[in-house]
A and B are shown apart, each in its own frame.
Chain A
């Protein structure tokens, strides 16, 4: 099995204070309001323990029958400043990757620059399971349609 190591960075300037952005990550209620899935996925397991050493899990079954499993451990949390976690991603119980995710919140005027740095080891033996990724787009489109119709997309809960 071969491994590909890769890093990507996402930067966003969010129209909210670091305290509000941090709060959006810090409770299951708030996180579920934006960490959204299409209405036709079935949540199988959902754990959320937001503290250093605490674990988050989201396991779900997609319409195709595929299951995805996100298993994270929080490694560092500094209120309103940063969150560092490590997560494994499984599709159909096959581990696809192990990733270190660092989220930095930097105040910028009354706003927040969110810097998401993700360093991952990707197991290419799990590539075939990636077919399920098309659901990522379907999910996005579903949410767009829901918004256009004035409905709320359903959250991961």
Chain B
């Protein structure tokens, strides 16, 4: 099995598979927020938000910094641009199709010569 997906990318996808964490990422896309600001619109406890935040941090999507008593979270833009990698994968998909097309054309050319 080929291993082309880096582990960080797997972690990012896992982190984004949860709607609550996606909501947090969406909120942070408008700018940094404190943990309580993040928790306010969400139907979950503050400790659940902290847990989700930990998953997002481990995936490299979000970083947080504690200043005094307030922990401020920001989006790690670098990881989000991995959507570009997804687009590259789409290109790779079509490249694979054309490998098959070339093989098919070679095979059918041989059949035509046999006639």
Contacts and interface: CB of A to CB of B under 8 A. Distances in A.
A84 interface: no
Interface stretch (A41-49, A75-83, A129-137): A129-137
Nearest to B17: A128
A57 to B, nearest CB: 16
A127 interface: yes
Interface in A89-145: 97, 114, 116, 118, 120, 122, 124-125, 127-128, 130-131, 133-134, 136-141, 143
A20 B105 CA distance: 8
A17 B106 CA distance: 12
A137 B90 CA distance: 11
Given A10-B94, A114-B98, A128 B16 contact: yes
Interface residues of A, number: 41
A6 B84 contact: yes
Which residue among B1, B80, B94, B100 has the maximum number of chain A CB atoms within 10 Å of its CB?
Answer: B100
A130 B94 contact: no
A2 B96 contact: no
Interface residues of B, number: 40
Given A35-B100, A116-B94, A136-B92, A4 B105 contact: no
A34 B101 contact: yes
A36 interface: yes
A36 B98 CA distance: 11
A27 interface: no
Nearest to B105: A16
Interface in B87-104: 87-104
Interface string B23-39: 00010010000000000
A36 B90 contact: no
Interface string B71-115: 000000000101110111111111111111111111011000000
Interface of B: 1-2, 4-5, 10, 12-14, 16-17, 22, 26, 29, 80, 82-84, 86-106, 108-109
19 contacts: A8-B88, A8-B90, A8-B91, A10-B91, A10-B98, A12-B101, A20-B108, A24-B105, A97-B90, A116-B98, A120-B90, A124-B80, A127-B82, A131-B10, A131-B13, A136-B92, A137-B1, A137-B2, A140-B2
